[in-house]
Structure formats: structure tokens, C-alpha cells
A = this chain, B = another copy of it.
């Protein structure tokens, strides 16, 4: 597999772990000395940090397991990433990717069955967030791992107590 594809593979596993709320799987993609920082957009090409950086994989795991709201029954999500730009220099690399997050909410089938005339998928798929990942990776024992991860969100964030 090419380096570029291996690096995209890490990002694919990262977003899938987020969608599963699987902090352990996500943390395994980071180096021991990794930093992760969330930003929100303040202008066309300007971003400001939100909160403190997450230091190392244990902090990544804790954040996913603690701060991400669990999906309701029949709920799920998709972090779609697109238009990747990958630059590799020896054992370090950068990937830049767009993302759009979809919140998926399935409708409960009524105990009496769907009403007459109801057909097809029942529920909603709704885009709720978007932005860019700007992510630096390093090759460790032959595997690419994230050592610096910026999540640049397009929308302002309301945080507890802020």
C-alpha cells in the first residue's frame, strides 16, 4: 500500500472510531507525545483554539468516552471526509481533509407497524458540523501514527459553563 493510502487509512479509522464512540480504537492511532487541539472558525482563514490541547492518547480516549454524547437508540453518525491532500517527507507526513458530520436518527417502527403507504427509509440524516482536519503523522515501527491533530470546526461551539 502506498504511503498516501496508508495515511488516508489512519484518517478513515479515526472518523470511524469517532462515529462508534470508541475511544480506545481512536487513541491507538496516536503517538505517545501527540497533541490534539480543537479550533473554531473566526473568519475566512482564521481560527481560535477551544479549550486546552489533549496530550497523548489517554486524553484522546478520555475525551471520546466522556465528552461525546452517546447515540440514542437507532442513532448513529457519519464523519464524511473528502478532498484529501497528503504530503509525505520521509517518515513524516501531513494530511489535510474536509469533513462534514451527519447525525442519523432512525424512527421507531410503531408496534402496529408502519402506517399504510409508508415506504423506504424512516428517520433523518442531517448535516450538523463541518470543517477541516489538519493532521501530522510520523512513521513508528512501520505504522503511521498521528502526533499532531488539529480539528478546525466551521461552526462556533457552545461549551458547558462558557
Contacts and interface: CB of A to CB of B under 8 A. Distances in A.
Interface in A67-109: 71, 73-74, 76, 78-85, 98, 100-102, 104, 106-109
Contact of A104 (B107, B130, B162): B130
Nearest to A14: B83
A65 interface: no
A121 B80 contact: no
Given A120-B157, A155-B106, A157-B122, A100 B80 contact: yes
Copies of this chain in its oligomeric complex = 3
A41 B106 contact: yes
A119 to B, nearest CB: 6
Given A100-B102, A104-B154, A9 B85 contact: yes
Given A82-B82, A83-B12, A71 B44 contact: yes
Nearest to A107: B156
A29 to B, nearest CB: 13
Contacts of A79: 83
Interface of A: 1-2, 4-5, 9, 11-13, 15-16, 20-21, 41-45, 71, 73-74, 76, 78-85, 98, 100-102, 104, 106-109, 113-114, 118-123, 125-130, 153-160, 162
25 contacts: A1-B4, A2-B5, A12-B83, A12-B84, A13-B85, A21-B44, A44-B71, A74-B155, A76-B154, A80-B100, A81-B83, A82-B82, A100-B102, A102-B127, A104-B130, A104-B155, A107-B156, A114-B158, A114-B162, A120-B128, A122-B155, A122-B156, A125-B128, A125-B129, A127-B127
